[in-house]
Structure 1
Amino acid sequence: MPKDHRKIILVCSDCLSRNYSLTKGNLTQKERLEVKKYCSTCNRHTLHKESR
């Protein structure tokens, strides 16, 4: 993995389960990531936010 990328975890906003892991550029994206993804615990598409 390049030095200018870091691994992030996406957390479901409803049930708070940690479902997805991604890499994100440190220099290009300063704000936290929010994406609608499928949550297997909720069995529906919910908003997933980047955890700290």
Structure 2
Amino acid sequence: MGANSRKAILVCEICLSRNYSQTKSTLTQKERLVVKKFCSSCNQHTTHKETR
């Protein structure tokens, strides 16, 4: 990770399990990440949001 990036943990909106982590640029992205990903607990594609 560079000086201007940080690790973002993604949590499923349905079951609240923390499934994924991504690096996020702090210079270009000011809002929280919102990504549609597969949740192995729900066994379906759901919306995942970044936690703080």
TM-score of the superposition, structure 1-length normalised?
0.97
Q: What runs of 5+ residues in structure 1 fail to find an aligned partner?
A: none
Q: Output the aligned Cα RMSD.
A: 0.4
Please state how far the C-alpha of 1:30 moved relative to its aligned partner. Answer: 0.1
- When the two structures are aligned, how many residues end up with a matched partner? 52
TM-score of the superposition, structure 2-length normalised?
0.97
Q: What runs of 5+ residues in structure 2 fail to find an aligned partner?
A: none
Percent identity, aligned pairs only, is 69
Partner of 2:2: 2
